[in-house]
Amino acid sequence: MKPLNGLRILDLTRVMAGPFCTALLADLGAEVIKLEPPQGDDYRHIGPFVDGESALFTLMNRGKQSIVLDLKDPAHQATAHALALECDVVVENFRPGVASRLGLGPELRAEKPSLIYASISGFGQTGPAAHLPAYDLVAQAMSGLMAATGEEGGAPLKVGEAYGDLMAGLYGSWAILAALHKRAATGEGSTIDVAMFDALFSLLPTSHALQFYAGKTPQPVGNRHPLSTPFGCFQCADGQAVIAVLGDRQWQALCGLIARADLAADPALATDEGRTAQEPRVKAAIEAFTTRLATADVVAALAAAGIPTAQVQTLAEAAASPHAQARELVSDLPHPRLGLAKTVGQPVRFDGEKPIAAHSAPALGADGAAILNRLGISHD
């Protein structure tokens, strides 16, 4: 029994933000019906490809069923409309206003008040930028995230993953679950408006602290933390180690490990703020110790002293690590063409178990007839 067994979702989304939202819900047991145009979701045509199958589409659409309808055709619109009214949740990520023009907008709630209708877009359904097209890069640039990311003194830098898309999808799934709780109590659905811009802007607490409380414009500081020291990457003999010290106990332990009692006793370095003000001095003292040792030895010594630390791993190293294996972070799911497809599902455990979709992404339109027959919807 998965947490969302019995929940039916009509997924009108494409590319990443919306599909990620509904994939998370499919992992938890929701029945997700993905409505695609005749050419399929855009991500079916974006590489890398394995045996003609898009890796990104496969990862973002696990556990779903696919039905093909041409929403430019009024008859197909009518079928989609009937399908929406058989669902508990509708999720879309068209530009604002497009779903309504297709007869699939939040107006559906007038016919089914218990419906939960979620829109995911670049800038939301209201506001002067609502009509603008947006990709993750645009949201990162406008949110303040890029301006605070990069090497110290360098140009703004985007985060390496599409976090605007992913965070909007994550917030979308969170909001849908909140709306389900409300509906269970009142019987009333909700109209949900999630924006990539809003999502990213909300996830910058360090920048918020600097801007709104310290009166400082956040600036790129490379791999170190702008408010805490020592908290970043440090050079070793053969690479770099991450060291993250927060609080006096860890600071004293680090000073003891590197044999610098003078630093431990220095009142100018007694607080996080004081150490950050003298960050170059602190870093030089630490690297006088770490540059004499291999990265693995530095990490082992720091861990033994109770100081948070790690080697910087590649994705392959992270996936192959004993801890990732024990946590079952990568799963092989049945795929109609690939046989088995690697999937990284939702990461949360419920009563010791980690729910994940029963199968990988569907073939285009593979489930259309079965879906309509099951729901009693006629369609030529």
Secondary structure of residue 216 in the 3-state scheme: coil
Give the tokens for residue 281. 């001095």
Residue 289: is it exposed, middle or buried by C-beta count within 10 angstroms (0-12/13-18/19+)? Answer: middle
Whole-angstrom distance, CA of residue 111 vs CA of residue 179: 18
Task: Judge whether 323 counts as a catalytic residue.
Answer: no
Mutual orientation of helices 74-84 and 368-375 as an angle, nearest 10°?
Answer: 60
Q: Which residue out of 225, 323, 359, 379 is catalytically annotated?
A: 225
Give the tokens for residue 6. 């019995």
How many CA atoms, within 13 angstroms, populate the side-chain half-sphere of residue 373?
Answer: 4
Give the tokens for residue 377. 């919807």
Phi-psi region of 266 (alpha: psi -120 to 50; beta: other; left: phi over 0): beta
Are the C-beta atoms of residues 292 and 284 closer than 8 Å to each other?
no
Show which residues are catalytic: 225
